[in-house]
Amino acid sequence: MVFTAIGALALAGCGDDGDGKDKAADGSGTTEDSASTVTLPKLDGEKISVAAVWTGPEQANFTKVLDEFEKRTGATVTFVPAQDPIVNFLGTKIAGGQPPDVAMIPQVGAIQQAVAKKWAKPVGKEAQAQLGKNYAQVWQDLGAVDGTQYGVYFKAANKSLVWYNAQAFENAGASEPKTWKDFIATAETVSASGVTPVSVGGADGWTLTDWFENVYLSQAGPEKYDQLAKHEIKWTDPSVKDALTTLAELFGKPALISGGADGALQTEFPVSVTQTFTGGDQPKGAMVFEGDFVSINIAQTEAKIGTDAKVFPFPAVGADSPVVTGGDAAVALKDTKGAQALLTWLASKDSAKIWAEAGGFISPNKELDASAYPNDVQRKIAEALIDAGDDVRFDMSDQAPQSFGGTPGKGEWKTLQDFLKNPKDIAGTQAKLESDAAKAYTS
């Protein structure tokens, strides 16, 4: 399992390991950095557009990656802000005759839809070569449809982490829990100290799918997880009832959640993080569950990762702690030299190094040196993800058709928000999930 490699994540330390590079052209129609591992074509004057849902610091850091591509190729790259659901956004652009050259797609199901709609273009041989050299097979398979490669996974996420306010834990006399039972007990201990224990970003339905998936994977096991992800078993299966019943042990106790259910449903994900690490030893929540990308939000506070902000693996509900991952894949929507060159660049370790040094990023690129990450916590999380190889399980909702697993106010996102509000209605929640899934998987 991934977390056997993490050990104690609460480590201090930071400092970038970046180094400058001199640019060089080889005179043969391609450009190559003197310390580069990737050769790119000359694209002087070519304009390339890239659509992604990233905003704020994520957009800023991705722009740094695009800036380096521009320097190496001579192309001009424009970032196009996208909205969820991205398939709908891309459909509008394509219908208007202005599709972006490349889209960063955050769901496996959305990649499959883009292929089915004949929007996506296969990955070229240069990018494919980078994938074969730099990526475990599982990441290549996630970007393939019916044996053809369409996606280049650039950004990964370890989505099985709980971050906590170290001072709040110390004041409460709480310790890092290893099991779900211990997690609930720890929450009660923190609550008794006068601090609300858990911050939940329920306004964003995707966070609730991550709660469910981690509980389900640990409790039901990988085989059932894969079956439910493919809708080979129904959401009315007893294993789903078990997972919702477990989750209700937290959701059914409003005193354990910042603002209760109503407050959580009005709390967006970034706020759920920052309110955990502001307010000194009296934060609005002592713990927040989410992936490694939480670090970019913590950076917006005065808390320091490894000292003020620490992290532990999602607690084991069954025999093992779960290992859920997610990611964003670059998909070409135009079969142009520029689009293919960008895919090649994003599949290289050179591009991954740029964002890794900036923080708030984990790369699935196994050739990236872990020293690129800015602190020991991120470094160990990244190493653990790479060490897991083909054993990771990809985010279940991101594998589903987007209408079920990736649309605000609909499908799984909406039903789990309703469940957070009324966690006693387990049977009704299962029935609604199955009804929506059945429609989505057959459409």
Using only C-alpha atoms, what is the Rg of the chain? 22
pLDDT in the model for residue 293:
86
The CATH code of domain 22-158+326-394 reads 3.40.190.10
- pLDDT tens-digit series, residues 99-157: 999 999 988 889 999 999 999 999 999 999 999 999 999 899 999 999 999 999 999 98
Helix, strand and coil in the chain, % to nearest 5: 45, 15, 35
Domain ranges of the chain: 22-158+326-394, 161-322+402-442
Residue 411, pLDDT > 60, answer yes
Q: CATH number of 161-322+402-442: 3.40.50.1460, 3.40.50.1100, 3.40.190.10, 2.40.160.40?
A: 3.40.190.10
Q: Coil, strand, or helix at residue 77?
A: strand
- What number is the average pLDDT over the span 356-369? 94
The mean pLDDT value of the chain amounts to 91
Is residue 259 helix, strand or coil? Answer: coil
Per-residue pLDDT tens over the stretch 51-106: 999 998 899 999 999 999 999 999 999 999 999 889 999 999 999 999 999 999 98
Mean pLDDT of the region 40-55:
97
Residue 405 CA, chain-centre distance (Å), reads 14
Residues 6+ apart with CB under 8 A from 102: 48, 49, 50, 51, 330, 331, 332, 333, 334, 339, 342, 343
Q: Cα separation of 398 and 384, whole Å?
A: 21
> pLDDT, tens digit, for every residue of 334-343?
999 999 999 9
Backbone phi, psi, residue 340, to 5° = -70, -35
Distance of CA 393 to the CA centre of its chain: 12
Find the range with the poorest average confidence among 91-100, 166-175, 346-355, 395-404. Answer: 395-404
Report the alpha-carbon distance of residue 347 to residue 326 in Å, rounded. Answer: 17
Nearest residue to 416 via CA among 258, 192, 254, 264: 264
pLDDT of residue 107: 87
Please give the backbone phi and psi of residue 413, each rounded to the nearest 5 degrees, phi first: -60, -50
Write out the E strands in 159-285.
Answer: 161-165, 198-199
List all residues 6 or more positions away from 346 whose beta carbon is below 8 Å from its beta carbon: 65, 127, 152, 154, 330
Question: Crossing angle for the helix pair 349-358 and 337-346, nearest 10 degrees?
Answer: 60
Task: Dig out the tokens for 109 from the structure.
Answer: 């199901």
Measured CA to CA, the distance from residue 78 to residue 341 in angstroms comes to 15
Per CATH, 22-158+326-394 and 161-322+402-442 having the same topology is answered yes
Angle between helices 238-251 and 222-229 (to 10 degrees): 100
Q: How confident is the model over 159-213, as pLDDT tens digits?
A: 999 999 999 999 999 999 999 999 999 999 999 999 999 999 999 999 999 999 9
Give the phi and the psi of residue 344 in degrees, each rounded to 5.
-60, -45
Q: Tokens 């994520």 label which residue? A: 58
Q: Note if the bond before 85 is cis, omega within 30 degrees.
A: yes
Tracing tokens 């003197």 back to the chain, one arrives at: 34
Task: Give tens-digit pLDDT for 13-34.
Answer: 333 333 333 333 344 455 554 4
For residues 311-340, give the mean pLDDT.
Answer: 94
Distance, in Å, from the CA atom of 216 to the CA atom of 244, rounded to the nearest integer, reads: 8
